Amino acid sequence: MATPRLTLAHLAQQTAAQIGFTLRRWWREKTNPQVLRVEVERRLFGAPPAIAVLTVTIPSLPSTQKPSRAHALPASRPKSVTRAREQSGMRRRTARSQQS
């Protein structure tokens, strides 16, 4: 498992790359530890660098999240529609089966 610092550095790099900027520096907000500040820059030929400070919410760790019950599979799965058609004698006619 990656250390928290490496994870935050990766998050900062990813945030900068999403908008086509280069990462300059990043820091955690002192007043709110769930907020990461990311300073980014973009250099264009013949122009001064464009610098921006982005605010990113740090996602919570997956181990602390409770598993969702919505993704659980139902106890009884419905029968396949294809199998039901085959059992009832209904077959799909294709161009090859019609030529013969």
Task: Give me the pLDDT at residue 90, please.
Answer: 54
Q: Domain 4-59 classified CATH 3.10.450.380?
A: yes
* Confidence bin at 84 (pLDDT 50/70/90): very low
Arithmetic mean of pLDDT over the chain: 77
CA distance 13 to 40: 9
Instruction: Encode pLDDT of 37-77 as tens digits.
Output: 999 999 999 999 999 999 999 988 665 445 555 555 555 54
Where do the structural domains in the chain lie, given as residue ranges? Answer: 4-59
Task: Give me the pLDDT at residue 4, please.
Answer: 72
CA distance 36 to 71: 31
Share of the chain above pLDDT 70, in %: 57
